[in-house]
Amino acid sequence: MENFLNPIEPPKIVKSWIDNEESHGSGMELPVFYPATGNQVSILVEDAYKDVDKAVMSARNAFDKSSWRKQSVEKRIEILENCRKLILDNLDELARLECLATGLIFREIKGFHLQRAAYNFRFFAQYISQAHGERFDNTEGYITLVNREPAGVIGLIAPWNAPMALATMKIAAAIAFGNCAVLKPSEQTPFSLVKLVTLLSQVLPPGVLNLVNGRGPITGSCLVSHPGVDRISFTGGTVTGRSVMEHAGKQLTPCSLELGGKSANIIFASADYQRALDGALIGIYSNNGQQCLAGSRILVEQTIFDQFVEEFVERTKNIVVGDPLDDNTEIGPIASKQHLERILSFADVAQHDGDKILVGGRRFSKYQNGYFLEPTAVLAKSNKSRACQEEIFGPFASFISFKSEDEAIAIANDTEFGLVSYVWSDHMPTIMNVSEAMRSGVVWINTPMMRELRAPFGGFKNSGVAREGGYSCEQFYTEEKTVSLPKSPLNLKKFGGGK
Ligand code: NAD
């Protein structure tokens, strides 16, 4: 029986936010759906080039003419703390809006995503309080100072899988370092970010943070190609990331790209078995399975393989799939109909490639209208299977066995991606050897996932370009300027001054 309530009454029409005012785009009207029911719940008005231009010019003016970038660090810290407070004061509404568009579990949005979103502002407030520059003295009597200045106008492009947690990392970093920004949320999941930007306008001067809505190839590509944008911070798929970099490259606009993954979760017989099993389930099924850092290829040492797979499958069958508002739910709906169909197509692909479906692979029969999927696991014929090579981005795990450390390393690295790797073992030489051998930007040992904001996060290979995190963000969102001067007046050669 399907008896889902809407988490919240959304705005009938989703508009944009430019210069601290609501703005009505001049592009198409696009439907927005609630993934749990499949019902259309709102209409989003797309921003065309002239709307994006207005948003970029608003940010440009705020950057070039207003005092935002010259604001004292103390004042900026105070404003960032106020941004944090606005999120915490509006936690319930923001969580409901995010749930409505994404189908993510309300409890997790409120308890984790939004706590992280609020913390992102505190983190960058604390970070800039420690900011320091460099000074070099040389024997020729010169002092050279290296200053970091805000980069300018930043285009921020966010995906749909964790809108608040991911976009606030970009917003907080961009404005903390004195930049102005234009944010484009995913066209599928605009509600929470539109609400956030509206709230933040209570404490941010006009133009510092603008928001445009619309599809990637329309609104997104206008933003990326706009000559008034100085940096692009993008999180999304690898194919899109390539196109973003191509367009930005025409203006030589630097890009930070946080892209897809097909991460290996390597489980050695020397691991704490129970923790590794719990971790493997969290690694692939949390966030409705839709996360870049999912441990989607589960590599298990042959001696424990059969037992591990059997217990994983049993646990998977018991996962509670259902209403994202229900406290007992463990996996909610997939974010969109197209995405559900794409994930389902991998069940056919897997069978075609000779993989065996161990569990799932079908729509969840209890709910026919929403985008529900049975959590799925397949036994891969080899790592060459498409289910092991392509990012499925859903609750869909592929199992492969290995006999030795070297084989595990070879399989783990045999992918175009390199975002994260998970290693489960209590044997220190194995941990050290494997973590060193992983071609990925992040390695998690004996833990499903953790994000230390002071450390860089990002991918090797096709999983990204540049990194996010404290110092990495400072580098990306600022320009370095070198200023040299002599300590005392120089005795300069006088051109044309005679002997
Ligand atoms: P997507 O690439 O389809 O879209 C991401 C954003 O880019 C959206 O706002 C979209 O509208 C916009 N976009 C699309 N085409 C564009 C274009 N031509 N120019 C400019 N903007 C464009 O990704 P998605 O489906 O929203 O998100 C899922 C993907 O994001 C997965 O591949 C996932 O791995 C990745 N992701 C990566 C990280 C990370 O930190 N590495 C985090 C979350 C998600």
pLDDT value for 329: 97
Would residue 452 count as lying in a domain?
A: no
pLDDT value for 38: 96
Q: Does residue 100 share a domain with residue 68? A: yes
pLDDT digits (tens, 9 = 90+) for 36-55: 999 999 999 999 999 999 99
436 contact partners, CB below 8 Å, separation of at least 6? none
Ligand 1 pocket by Cβ (under 6 Å): 157-161, 166, 184, 186-187, 215-217, 220-221, 224, 235-237, 240, 243-244, 258-261, 292, 391, 393, 419, 464
Mean pLDDT of 271-276: 98
Where in the sequence numbering do the catalytic residues fall? 258, 292
Looking at residue 343, its amino acid is: I
Question: In a mutational test of the pocket of ligand 1, which residue from 113, 235, 239, 396 has the highest number of ligand atoms less than 8 Å from its CB?
Answer: 235
Q: Does residue 286 share a domain with residue 216? A: no
Lowest model confidence (mean pLDDT) among 157-161, 286-290, 495-499:
495-499
Would residue 89 count as lying in a domain?
A: yes
Question: What 8-state DSSP symbol labels residue 404?
Answer: S
pLDDT digits (tens, 9 = 90+) for 165-176: 999 999 999 999
Q: Which atom of ligand 1 is nearest to the CA of 391?
A: 32
Interval between CA 2 and ligand 1 midpoint (Å): 31
Tell me which residue has its CA closest to atom 26 in ligand 1.
Answer: 159
Looking at residue 139, its amino acid is: T
CATH number at residue 249: 3.40.605.10
Q: Does residue 361 share a domain with residue 296? A: yes
Q: Does residue 47 share a domain with residue 118? A: yes
Q: Does residue 145 share a domain with residue 280? A: no
Tell me which residue has its CA closest to atom 32 in ligand 1.
Answer: 237
Beta strands in 333-395, from DSSP E residues, in sequence order: 356-359, 376-379
Mean pLDDT of 99-128: 98
Q: Which atom of ligand 1 is nearest to the CA of 457?
A: 40
Full residue range of the structural domain in which residue 328 is found: 264-445
Q: How far apart are CA 458 and CA 463, in angstroms?
A: 7
Q: Which atom of ligand 1 is nearest to the CA of 458?
A: 41
Would residue 352 count as lying in a domain?
A: yes
Tell me which residue has its CA closest to atom 13 in ligand 1.
Answer: 216
pLDDT value for 1: 53
Interval between CA 209 and ligand 1 midpoint (Å): 20
Number of domains in the chain: 2
Q: Does residue 300 share a domain with residue 194? A: no
Question: In a mutational test of the pocket of ligand 1, which residue from 284, 292, 338, 419 has the highest number of ligand atoms less than 8 Å from its CB?
Answer: 292
Structure tokens at 196: 């956030």
CB neighbourhood size of 461 (10 A): 17
Q: Does residue 299 share a domain with residue 231? A: no
Interval between CA 236 and ligand 1 midpoint (Å): 2
Q: Does residue 300 share a domain with residue 237? A: no
Question: In a mutational test of the pocket of ligand 1, which residue from 16, 191, 240 has the highest number of ligand atoms less than 8 Å from its CB?
Answer: 240
CATH number at residue 376: 3.40.309.10
145 pLDDT band (50/70/90 cuts)? Answer: very high
Structure tokens at 183: 């944010």
105 pLDDT band (50/70/90 cuts)? Answer: very high
Interval between CA 240 and ligand 1 midpoint (Å): 6
Please check the confidence at residue 368 and state whether its pLDDT lies above 90.
Answer: no
Would residue 126 count as lying in a domain?
A: yes
pLDDT digits (tens, 9 = 90+) for 307-337: 999 999 999 999 999 999 999 999 999 999 9
pLDDT value for 345: 98
Residue 44's closest CA among 182, 232, 219? 219
Structure tokens at 223: 């933003």
Q: pTM for this structure?
A: 0.97
Q: Does residue 289 share a domain with residue 229? A: no
Question: In a mutational test of the pocket of ligand 1, which residue from 161, 223, 296 has the highest number of ligand atoms less than 8 Å from its CB?
Answer: 161
* Mean of all residue pLDDT scores within the chain: 97
Mean pLDDT of 16-22: 98
pLDDT value for 263: 98
Interval between CA 366 and ligand 1 midpoint (Å): 30
Q: How many CA atoms lie within 13 A of 114 on its CB side?
A: 26
Please check the confidence at residue 306 and state whether its pLDDT lies above 70.
Answer: yes
Tell me which residue has its CA closest to atom 19 in ligand 1.
Answer: 221
Would residue 455 count as lying in a domain?
A: no
Q: Which atom of ligand 1 is nearest to the CA of 215?
A: 11
Would residue 499 count as lying in a domain?
A: no
Q: Percent helix, strand and coil across the chain, each rounded to 5?
A: 40, 20, 40
pLDDT digits (tens, 9 = 90+) for 391-443: 999 999 999 999 999 999 999 999 999 999 999 999 999 999 999 999 999 99
Unique residue bearing structure tokens 């956030």? 196
In total, the chain counts a number of residues equal to 499
Q: How far apart are CA 262 and CA 176, in angstroms?
A: 32
- Report helix, strand or coil for 444: strand
Q: Which atom of ligand 1 is nearest to the CA of 243?
A: 18
Residue 125's closest CA among 181, 177, 180? 177
Q: Does residue 135 share a domain with residue 75? A: yes
Tell me which residue has its CA closest to atom 30 in ligand 1.
Answer: 236
State the angle between helix axes of 73-89 and 163-176 in degrees (0 to 180), rounded to the nearest 10: 160
Q: Which atom of ligand 1 is nearest to the CA of 419?
A: 41
Q: Does residue 142 share a domain with residue 40? A: yes
Would residue 457 count as lying in a domain?
A: no
Would residue 454 count as lying in a domain?
A: no
Interval between CA 235 and ligand 1 midpoint (Å): 5
Residue 363's closest CA among 343, 383, 387? 343
Q: Does residue 234 share a domain with residue 278? A: no
| Residue 38 phi, psi (nearest 5) | 75, 5
pLDDT digits (tens, 9 = 90+) for 203-239: 999 999 999 999 999 999 999 999 999 999 999 999 9
Q: How far apart are CA 269 and CA 424, in angstroms?
A: 9
Beta bridge partners of 406: none
Please check the confidence at residue 35 and state whether its pLDDT lies above 60.
Answer: yes
CB neighbourhood size of 494 (10 A): 8
